[in-house]
Structure 1
């Protein structure tokens, strides 16, 4: 299939065109979009048993390894156990992305179960992503100043890349402040509530993003999760201060959350090319600005779990559940010929993508 065209260039020119033209000028390849939708319609149904099995196993391994990191005396075994805990709980936590997209009637109780197992204990309840992440997929918002999950990182200063990761590593301190301090304060001082909701209630990377008010059932669920998380955070601090929870256990828990957030931030660095500077973009341009890291690469199973290795495909077909993305990619890779823009979003792995980003920041100096 040879359907992509751009300002008079045929599909053979897409690689150079993507680099030389602003993404805002890339038109939609309607044939590719239509074919992708048609060929994956049978993959749209989520498989509840797989969702629950994956989440429960990841959670069980993660917390068991966390206990090992706290209890093991030999330092080497404690470190290995901690690394297993970080990776397993990171996989479990990554289901927040699925929670933000799924029709909840299709996987009954999953949002509640995820929050009980992961969201509240790790102080990142689902309301911080629901109602936020969907804005990243809005055609008129993606890559603009109103996108909570986009920054033109490829055009920023070189020091912005390590700073981007460092800030995420401090997240557990921010979580404690948010829920142990700010939640009670907004109850005692009601006028604080609006700025806290707008500025400190979303998992986002755009510092200019301000969350709009939530109402109705979503707001009721938000309050339930926030109060549960606040009680948990206050309880952690109180238990540690009184010696009920050993300081070592508290520090290792925070270090685990920090490690998870740092890995996710590194993944975020390579989830897109970050080349847009605020223009509205076509869906095809959004796809080309996003990244797939398909097999034969193996390490993405660890640093981009739960379908996140197919991030570009997810932007093309956001309704596909995570377990369908691999099959969808196989089908579409076969259906489109080598000149199709579909293949232009696939990359070999993390090192090359990070190198590309860093080189982009150096050119922007």
Structure 2
């Protein structure tokens, strides 16, 4: 075994040893958090869509935006939860958040875990990786701004393409392979979607019926247009914040080559305390993204405890201490500065024949 493999194995073994008692999800925490988050999200949206006082509208909109974003972020936890961990949580989340946002859990389940596969991370087969660290500032800005169209995308998928897919086989193949996964890699093709799971079918039907029901209720005047516009704006802003968080989640330096585990870890980012704002822009444990890649089975509510232990007990020379950023803007600033930096000029050796003739 090479020295790098020993270092990798050592880091994982140490981390597991220090956090072994933190791997069990607390069911009450999950449910209370979800219910309070959903209540805040839809309550804030309702205030923003119905109030006439601008301060109340702004306050309700801000609460609705942050809660909607937090609620949507639970899809990441669901992709790592086993059904027995928190029974019924997947169904509850889909009813309260996933279907109303037409972003059901099946669009992340079976996809996100590929991002954690050691032989896929950072390669062309990784659904959640692009060499963004090598992009130009313009391409990085477009990567962030395109997320504002996410609500339009889910409406088109649930309201038009899903129903069409049940009668047109070619559309069904397109929806299954290319439009049933939350990814950033446009070349990713979903490989596990060649059969219809009953729960996935139910989620797709739920999103379809929700989309058509809201559209019909809006047309006949039962749902005010302002409510739908507010939903669209808050959802759009939530996905934009998430896209900014995505830019800060890794260093994005790999360009398709397979990476060692340590290289994968060092490409990931933690934004730990004392920074406070990550609680808002990287909720449900997403501020500890590097730690999550090290120990993906840790539930979100224990990541802070785990980070404190590892920070205190791992040696100063441990790779664990090399992946921290102070804030979202610091991480984004570094990414954009790398994008603005000129490409290194490689020295070209003169041709031997030319050297001799000279």
Do they superpose with TM above 0.5? yes
Which is worse superposed, 201-210 or 27-36?
Answer: 27-36
> Structure 1 CA distance, aligned partners of 2:13 and 2:24?
19
C-alpha displacement of 1:220 = 1.8
> Structure 2 CA distance, aligned partners of 1:95 and 1:71?
27
Q: Residue deviations 1:93-115, cap 9 Å, x none?
A: 11111100011112010000000
Partner residue, 2:307: 329
Partner residue, 1:113: 92
> Structure 2 CA distance, aligned partners of 1:199 and 1:300?
31
Would you say 1:256 and 2:248 are equivalent positions?
Answer: no
Would you say 1:297 and 2:275 are equivalent positions?
Answer: yes
Q: Which runs of 5+ in 1 are unaligned?
A: 7-25
Give 1 or 2 for the bigger CA radius of gyration. Answer: 2
Q: Tell whether the 8 Å contact from 1:46 to 1:106 is kept in structure 2 after alignment.
A: yes
C-alpha displacement of 1:228 = 0.5
C-alpha displacement of 1:179 = 0.4
Relative contact order (C-alpha < 8 Å, sep 6+): which is higher?
A: 1
Q: Tell whether the 8 Å contact from 1:197 to 1:213 is kept in structure 2 after alignment.
A: no
Q: Tell whether the 8 Å contact from 1:180 to 1:233 is kept in structure 2 after alignment.
A: yes
C-alpha displacement of 1:213 = 3.8
Q: Residue deviations 1:174-229, cap 9 Å, x none?
A: 1000000001111121232111111111111111111114366x722111100100
Which is worse superposed, 67-76 or 110-119?
Answer: 67-76
Root-mean-square deviation (CA), in Å? Answer: 1.6
Partner residue, 1:349: 327
Partner SS, residue 197 of structure 2: helix
C-alpha displacement of 1:39 = 1.3
> Structure 2 CA distance, aligned partners of 1:27 and 1:159?
41
Partner SS, residue 124 of structure 2: coil
Residue of structure 1 aligned with 2:251, choices 273, 289, 297? 273
C-alpha displacement of 1:265 = 0.6
Partner SS, residue 94 of structure 1: helix
Matches within 5 A, 1:151-300: 151-214=130-193, 219-300=197-278
> Structure 1 CA distance, aligned partners of 2:38 and 2:225?
23
Partner SS, residue 188 of structure 2: coil
Partner residue, 1:9: none
C-alpha displacement of 1:72 = 0.8
Give the length in aligned residue pairs.
342
Q: Tell whether the 8 Å contact from 1:28 to 1:283 is kept in structure 2 after alignment.
A: no
Q: Residue deviations 1:72-127, cap 9 Å, x none?
A: 10123202210110101211111111100011112010000000000000111000
Q: Tell whether the 8 Å contact from 2:103 to 2:154 is kept in structure 1 after alignment.
A: yes
> Structure 1 CA distance, aligned partners of 2:193 and 2:176?
9
Q: Tell whether the 8 Å contact from 2:251 to 2:269 is kept in structure 1 after alignment.
A: yes
TM-score (norm 2): 0.92
